[in-house]
C-alpha cells in the first residue's frame, strides 16, 4: 500500500509542479507586460522583481486550484485508460485509498490558499499598486516617453498625451494632446510640433507648454461639425500628486486583510449601510480558497469515466471545468446591485455543485 501511495503521490506532484509553473507564468503575463512598460520609461528593473513577488500570492490563489484540476484529470485519465485503476480495485484497494494521498495534499493546498486569500495576498496586492504610484511620483518625467502614450482622468474626461521624441529632459517633439469623454468620443485634439515639460516635485505637478499648435475641437454646442484653429502656445498642468493620493484614499475591500475587512463590515453595519459588497469580497475569498477540494472531487471521477491517456483531452476537460467555475463566480459577483438576491451567498453555488456532483460520481464509481 505504501508503494501504491508513493506512486500516486509522485505522479501528482510532478504533474502539479509543471501545471503550476505554466499557469502562473500565463496569468502573470499581462502584469509583466504592464510593469515592463514602466521599466522602459526609466523605472528601475528592481521594481519589476518586487512587483512580481507582490502579486504572486494573489496569482497563486487562482493557479493552485486550477493546477490541482489539471493534475487530477491528467493522472486519473491516464491511470484509467491503462487499466491501473481496475487493477488496483481488483487487489482490494478502494477509490478512497487510491486518492487519499492527493486528498491530503489538496487539503494542505486549500489551507495555503485560504491563508493567501485572507491575509497575505490583499496587502501585497495593494503594495504592488502603491509601489508603481510611488515610483511614478519620484520619476514623473519617465511617464512621458516617446512611443508610450500616457492617459489620466480629469473630471469626467480622459486625457491622452503622446510624444514622438524627447531630445532633452525637458524638450518634447511631435506632441499629441487628446481629450475624450467617458464614452471615448473625442472632444479636443491638439497637435504640436514641439513643447516643453517642467516638474514641480514639491507640488507634484507637471507643467506643459506646447508650441505651434493645431486645434481640432468638437464641443457639445457643435456636434454637427468640427472647428479647427491655430495657436502659437498652449499650456496645461498634470497634477500627478492628486492622482496618486486619490488612488491611496480609495483603497478597496480587495486590498484589506481579513481583520480589517471584518472590522469594516461591523463598522458599516453600525452605520446602517449596506455591507453586500464587503460580504461578497469576504465570501469570494473563502470560496476561492476551498475550490481545490471542489476541483479534486469533480475532476477525479470525470477523468476515470473518460479514460483517456491523451493530454489534450485532459487539458480540455480541466479548462472547461475551470472556466465554468470562474465564470460562475464572476457572474454572481456582478450581482452586487441586486442585494435582494443575496449574491454573497450565491458565490457558494459553484463549490456546492462541484462537490455534490463529484461526490455522487465518486460514489457510483466505487460501487461498480
pLDDT at 352: 92
Structural domain ending residue among the three candidates 230, 248, 266: 248
pLDDT at 312: 67
Instruction: Say yes or no: 18 and 133 in one domain.
Output: yes
Structural domain ending residue among the three candidates 248, 278, 295: 248
Instruction: Say yes or no: 236 and 268 in one domain.
Output: no
DSSP 255-318: GS-HHHHHHHHHHHHHTT---HHHHHHHHHHHHHHTHHHHHHHHHHHHHHHH----HHHHHHHH
CA angle centred on 337, ends 333 and 339, rounded to 5°:
90
Residue 249 has pLDDT above 50, yes or no: no
Range ranked top by mean pLDDT from 5-9, 192-196, 245-249? 192-196
Instruction: Say yes or no: 278 and 129 in one domain.
Output: yes
Instruction: Say yes or no: 207 and 307 in one domain.
Output: no
pLDDT at 247: 47
Residue 274 in grid coordinates? 449596506
Residue 248 has pLDDT above 50, yes or no: no
Instruction: Say yes or no: 255 and 116 in one domain.
Output: yes
Structural domain ending residue among the three candidates 196, 230, 248: 248
pLDDT band at 139 (very low <50, low <70, confident <90, very high): low
Over residues 30-65, the pLDDT tens digits come to 667 766 666 665 666 677 778 888 888 888 888 999
Residue 245 has pLDDT above 60, yes or no: no
Instruction: Say yes or no: 154 and 131 in one domain.
Output: no
More confident residue, 22 or 95: 22
Instruction: Say yes or no: 231 and 266 in one domain.
Output: no
Instruction: Say yes or no: 105 and 6 in one domain.
Output: yes
Q: How many domains does the chain have?
A: 2
Over residues 319-348, the pLDDT tens digits come to 888 888 989 988 998 888 888 888 989 999
Over residues 200-223, the pLDDT tens digits come to 767 777 888 889 888 888 765 545
Instruction: Say yes or no: 255 and 230 in one domain.
Output: no
Type and span of the H or E element at 211: strand 205-217
Instruction: Say yes or no: 82 and 159 in one domain.
Output: no
Over residues 144-199, the pLDDT tens digits come to 667 777 777 777 788 888 888 877 767 888 888 888 887 777 888 889 888 888 87
CA angle centred on 237, ends 233 and 243, rounded to 5°:
155
pLDDT at 250: 40
Over residues 54-111, the pLDDT tens digits come to 888 888 888 999 898 888 888 888 887 777 777 777 777 777 777 788 888 889 989 9
pLDDT band at 349 (very low <50, low <70, confident <90, very high): very high
Instruction: Say yes or no: 207 and 173 in one domain.
Output: yes
Instruction: Say yes or no: 12 and 124 in one domain.
Output: yes
pLDDT at 243: 59
**Which structural domain, as residue segments, surrounds residue 189?**
145-248
User: How far apart, in whole angstroms, are the C-alpha atoms of residue 366 and residue 368?
Assistant: 6
pLDDT at 137: 56
Amino acid at each position: 500500500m505504501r508503494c501504491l501511495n508513493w506512486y500516486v503521490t509522485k505522479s501528482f506532484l510532478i504533474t502539479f509542479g509543471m501545471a503550476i509553473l505554466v499557469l502562473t507564468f500565463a496569468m502573470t503575463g499581462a502584469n509583466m507586460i504592464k510593469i515592463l512598460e514602466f521599466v522602459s520609461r526609466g523605472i528601475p528593473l528592481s521594481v519589476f522583481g518586487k512587483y512580481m513577488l507582490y502579486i504572486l500570492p494573489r496569482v497563486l490563489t487562482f493557479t493552485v486550484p486550477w493546477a490541482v484540476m489539471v493534475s487530477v484529470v491528467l493522472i486519473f485519465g491516464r491511470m484509467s485508460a491503462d487499466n491501473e485503476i481496475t487493477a488496483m480495485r481488483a487487489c482490494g484497494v478502494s477509490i478512497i485509498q487510491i486518492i487519499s494521498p492527493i486528498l491530503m495534499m489538496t487539503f494542505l493546498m486549500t489551507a495555503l490558499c485560504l491563508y493567501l486569500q485572507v491575509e497575505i495576498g490583499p496587502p501585497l496586492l495593494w503594495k504592488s499598486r502603491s509601489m508603481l504610484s510611488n515610483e511614478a511620483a519620484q520619476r514623473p518625467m519617465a511617464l512621458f516617453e516617446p512611443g508610450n502614450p500616457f492617459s489620466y482622468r480629469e473630471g469626467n474626461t480622459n486625457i491622452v498625451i503622446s510624444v514622438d521624441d524627447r531630445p532633452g529632459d525637458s524638450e518634447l517633439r511631435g506632441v499629441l494632446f487628446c481629450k475624450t469623454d467617458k464614452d471615448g468620443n473625442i472632444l479636443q485634439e491638439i497637435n504640436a510640433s514641439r513643447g516643453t515639460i517642467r516638474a514641480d516635485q514639491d507640488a507634484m505637478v507637471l507643467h506643459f507648454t506646447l508650441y505651434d499648435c493645431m486645434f481640432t475641437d468638437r464641443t457639445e454646442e457643435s456636434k454637427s461639425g468640427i472647428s479647427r484653429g491655430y495657436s502659437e502656445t498652449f499650456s496645461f498642468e498634470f497634477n500627478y500628486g492628486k492622482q496618486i493620493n486619490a488612488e491611496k484614499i480609495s483603497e478597496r475591500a480587495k486590498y484589506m486583510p481579513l481583520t480589517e475587512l471584518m472590522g469594516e463590515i461591523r463598522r458599516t453595519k453600525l452605520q446602517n449601510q449596506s455591507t453586500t459588497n464587503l460580504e461578497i469580497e469576504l465570501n469570494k475569498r473563502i470560496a476561492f480558497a476551498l475550490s481545490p477540494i471542489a476541483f479534486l472531487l469533480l475532476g477525479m471521477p470525470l477523468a476515470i469515466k473518460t479514460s483517456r491517456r491523451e493530454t489534450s483531452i485532459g487539458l480540455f476537460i480541466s479548462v472547461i471545468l475551470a472556466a465554468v467555475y470562474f465564470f460562475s463566480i464572476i457572474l454572481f459577483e456582478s450581482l452586487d446591485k441586486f442585494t435582494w438576491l443575496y449574491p454573497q451567498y450565491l458565490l457558494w453555488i459553484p463549490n456546492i455543485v462541484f462537490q455534490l456532483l463529484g461526490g455522487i460520481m465518486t460514489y457510483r464509481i466505487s460501487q461498480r
